[in-house]
Amino acid sequence: MRAGRRLSIAVVGAVAAAGVLAGCGEAGSSGTEAPQQSASGEGCAPVAGEQLIALTDDKALQNADNIIPAINTKVATPQLVAALDKVSAVLDTPKLVQLNKAVDVDRKSAQAAAQEFSDANGLADGVEKGPGGKITVGAGNFTESEIIAELYKIQLTAAGYQVTVQQIGNRELYEPALEKGEIQVVPEYAATMAEFLKGKTGGGSDPVSSPDVEKTVTALRGLGEQVGLSFGQPAPAQNQNAFAVTKEFAEKYGVRTLSELATKCSGTATVLGGPPECQERPFCKPGLEQTYGLSVGSFSSLDQGGPLTKTGLRNGTISVGLVFSTDAAYATS
């Protein structure tokens, strides 16, 4: 759904079953209200609120877009790869949400946020020294890529390299630079990069990525070999399309997963918001319909993970909106 970025999902707790509520007395007897059940075909009207949550993709609609270091094979020494893999080992989706928040909300620099994260997680401790030399880490032109590039810089500096970070823009610009060795390392997204390289190498029309991270990364490595690229280990952190609602919406209707959204909120009152292409893209509205059976009453043409969609959720003009799974809007503190 995006060019420079890639479209896991922030995990939220399960809603108590109706049977458990019944066992505790009448709904509301303990000071809480039972989730409201919409009538069949009525749907779930928007509910305004500040805090956003991502509904769990419990049927794996989205592909495995785990963060992964992409490396020009000529510099991919064991020490360099091991240094980058230490970032992957500790970086999960909730931590990536907090890193994005540190820059986008708290207004720290990418360098400062990365250094604080590195110090807190001991990333540079015990890093094995490599052969040294100059390394340029490329970054996409968005916050998350810049932060991870700075984490890579910290690691490679600890491994004895002279490192600079260079923002290069979107994948169409930085991937050729990576192949040519003009940059040597860049943070990537497994499924999106696999599909990008498949298109570049003439890999046919069938997708090579899937919700299975191991299969996706195996395909990615094979495609990378054809163009002189190597890849480190994938992080647990994923940046995917995610479907967000307000916390108040989730509580009112008892919705925490996309399956629950489809079961409880299919109907005319439900408004889906996102970029115009969401209505045709397989991982957006058609995917919700085919994988989950969700039927919405209307679609609001906004943006993808941007201020229009988040404002629509918070102001109560859309029920559910397309927002990236690592967006700082999910941060709770």
Given a cut of 70, is residue 22 above it in pLDDT?
Answer: no
Helices and strands, counts by H and E, the chain: 12, 10
Q: Residue written as tokens 């919406």?
A: 249
For the stretch 121-141, pLDDT in tens is 999 999 999 999 999 999 998
Spatial separation of the C-alpha atoms in residues 126 and 123, rounded to whole Å:
8
Three-state secondary structure call for residue 288 = helix
E strand residue ranges, 48-173 = 52-54, 67-72, 133-140, 161-169
Cβ 262 vs Cβ 74: under 8 Å: no
| Weakest-pLDDT range from 12-21, 186-195, 203-212, 297-306 | 12-21
Report the first-to-last Cα separation within the chain, whole angstroms. Answer: 29
For the stretch 51-72, pLDDT in tens is 999 999 999 999 999 999 999 9
The pTM (predicted TM-score) of the whole model is 0.84
- If we measure between CA atoms, which residue out of 196, 149, 140 comes closest to residue 170? 140
For the stretch 157-169, pLDDT in tens is 999 999 999 999 8
Walk me through the domains of the chain, giving residue ranges and CATH numbers. Answer: 18-61+240-330 (3.40.190.120), 67-231 (3.10.105.10)
Radius of gyration of the chain (CA): 21
For the stretch 254-280, pLDDT in tens is 999 999 999 999 999 999 999 999 999
For the stretch 31-43, pLDDT in tens is 445 566 655 579 9
Three-state secondary structure call for residue 3 = coil
Q: Looking at residues 181-203, what average pLDDT do you find?
A: 94
What's residue 203's pLDDT? 76
